[in-house]
Amino acid sequence: MTTETSATAPAAAHAAPGIDLFSQEFAADPFPVYAQLRRSAPVHYDPATKLWLVSRDEDIRQVLLEPATYRNDNALGSVVPLRLPALRILDRAGFKTLPPALFNNSGDTHPVLRGAVLRLFSAQQVRAALPMVERITHEELDLMAEALDTTGHHDFAQGPARRIPVRVMLEMLGVPEEARADITTVADWTDAFITLFWGRTDKDRQRELALQVADFYRWLSELATRSDAPDDSLLGALARVRMPDGSPVPPEVAVAVCSNLMVAGHVTTSQMISTAVYRALESDGQWRALAQDPGLAGGWTEETLRREPSLTAWRRVTSRATTLGGVDLPEGAEILLMFTSAGTDPDAYEEPERICPMRKAGRGHLGFGLGRHRCPGGELARVEGRVVLSAAAARFPDLRLATRERPPFLELVSFRAPTRLEVTRTLSRTQGTPYAAKGSTAP
């Protein structure tokens, strides 16, 4: 977890645009870069990150379906090297490395650990969780209503989009009430986690982030070693799992599974909700359409997952020399599968730029991956997206963006979403002046 990626540099880089995967420019609008990559260098070596960028839907599917050749051992390594002060802080918390669990496990323990997670997030369990998701959503929208009434505006990304998935995940994992950390603290920890491992950070920033990640790791370790976990919780399920050699799950592996789920289970869902709400509010009449027809919320969520998935890109490493998209890759080549590019590939989708909730091929996208490591939490994420979008639109049909300025986007190699989303309500003439963000050009 704490090691730098170590790609084998190719003899010659392939012709393609200069790309800065960490820039705000790329985060805000990556689509022209993806189009150029797909056209001119679909398997392109990026010297800045030492990663081979794979941008075509077809090539990405091939990689995902050949897990023996393209292993996920490197998926959780930090994309920029971690410096000594950060490493020391993590080390003091007992966090030297995350042993293979799910995201970074190509070995024979993967199927048994994955089996436990699949059971916990099965379609049946997700159906049973629906009333809980709805209750939490309404409670969080109550808080938003209060904020709108008192201040006239609210940050949807930092409010409902961030808080609902954390609360849902704590419930789904069966974290006992007395062991729960504050919602904002958990969200801050996981934000620190993804920034430390997928962001471009200097020594000082790494130090700050490592302090938060160390606290997160200590909390996870306490959680994972509790002996009173109920049978129907994640830890109860892990206690019943037997590794291929018949031994119980070692404590450090249980911590790794918990961390995989805590991070993957809510960060991505929060980001998906922020993006879906932003695009609906930004498009003419779309929010009203969602308010009038809650049935559109499922299709809108699906299109968000296709066109702008929150997990934008994910890594693999080749176990042998191979050829991909006509390009020879050496053994040990680290590659980045650009899911967002796949979702906007015109060879895979008609008019890929259009968000089209009725699109027929919507379920075939790669927003949740494919094959051996396909996301086990996809159904839960879909339900959360549908419930939050339809409930927010029904409750605030007059919601709008407080400013026309593009919101800031997360600048990480593998995650992308608006980090702030100021919203306000359209007031009737008798209700006074609508809120306008300071210095903004409110519509």
CA-CA distance, 367 to 371, in Å (whole number)? 12
| DSSP per residue, 201-220 | --HHHHHHHHHHHHHHHHHH
**298 versus 376: smaller Cβ distance to ligand HEM:** 376
**Least CB distance to ligand HEM at residue 11 (A):** 28
**160 versus 435: smaller Cβ distance to ligand HEM:** 160
Q: Which of 38, 114, 167, 359 binds ligand HEM (CB under 6 A)?
A: 114
311 part of the interface to ligand HEM, by CB under 6 A: yes
Residues from 314 through 333 that contact ligand HEM (CB under 6 A): 314
425 part of the interface to ligand HEM, by CB under 6 A: no
**90 versus 256: smaller Cβ distance to ligand HEM:** 256
Count Cβ atoms below 10 Å from residue 142 Cβ, excluding itself: 11
**Least CB distance to ligand HEM at residue 437 (A):** 27
Helix extents (H) in 181-327: 183-198, 203-224, 234-240, 251-282, 286-292, 296-307
CA-closest candidate to residue 280, choices 295, 298, 300: 300
234 part of the interface to ligand HEM, by CB under 6 A: no
Which residue in the shown chain puts its C-beta closest to ligand HEM?
377
Residue 219, token pair as written in the block: 């909390």
133 part of the interface to ligand HEM, by CB under 6 A: no
**217 versus 368: smaller Cβ distance to ligand HEM:** 368
**309 versus 424: smaller Cβ distance to ligand HEM:** 309
Choices 92-100, 197-205, 261-269, 411-419; region in contact with ligand HEM by CB under 6 A:
261-269
Binding mask 351-390 for ligand HEM (x = CB under 6 A): ----------------xxx---x-xxx--xx---------
Residue 329, CA distances (Å) to 105, 323, 385 in order: 22, 6, 38
Q: Which of 258, 261, 291, 355 binds ligand HEM (CB under 6 A)?
A: 261
Strands 334-338 and 70-71: unpaired
77 part of the interface to ligand HEM, by CB under 6 A: no
Q: Which of 26, 34, 95, 121 binds ligand HEM (CB under 6 A)?
A: 121
260 part of the interface to ligand HEM, by CB under 6 A: yes
**Least CB distance to ligand HEM at residue 348 (A):** 16
201 part of the interface to ligand HEM, by CB under 6 A: no
**74 versus 206: smaller Cβ distance to ligand HEM:** 74
**Least CB distance to ligand HEM at residue 417 (A):** 10
Strands 51-54 and 334-338: parallel
Count Cβ atoms below 10 Å from residue 211 Cβ, excluding itself: 15
Whether the CB-CB separation of 283 and 244 falls below 8 Å is answered with no
Binding mask 281-310 for ligand HEM (x = CB under 6 A): ----------------------------xx
| Beta sheet of 313-318, edge-to-edge order | 43-46, 51-54, 334-338, 313-318, 70-71
Residue 424, token pair as written in the block: 């306000």
**133 versus 423: smaller Cβ distance to ligand HEM:** 133
**87 versus 166: smaller Cβ distance to ligand HEM:** 166
Q: How far is CA 206 from the centre of its chain?
A: 21
162 part of the interface to ligand HEM, by CB under 6 A: no
268 part of the interface to ligand HEM, by CB under 6 A: yes
Helix (H/G/I), strand (E/B), else coil: 145 = helix
**Least CB distance to ligand HEM at residue 264 (A):** 4
117 part of the interface to ligand HEM, by CB under 6 A: yes
CA-CA distance, 77 to 177, in Å (whole number)? 32
Residue 240, CA distances (Å) to 145, 243, 395 in order: 44, 10, 43
Binding mask 44-73 for ligand HEM (x = CB under 6 A): --------------------x-------x-
Query: What is the Cα Rg of the chain in Å?
Result: 22
| DSSP per residue, 346-400 | TTTSSSTTS--TT-GGGGG-STT--GGG--TTHHHHHHHHHHHHHHHHHH-TTEE
**269 versus 341: smaller Cβ distance to ligand HEM:** 269
Q: Which amino acid type is present at position 337?
A: L
Query: To 10 degrees, what angle do helices 183-198 and 203-224 make?
Result: 130
Which residues here bind ligand HEM, judged by CB under 6 A?
Answer: 64, 72, 75, 102-103, 114, 117, 121, 260-261, 264-265, 268-269, 272, 309-311, 314, 367-369, 373, 375-377, 380-381
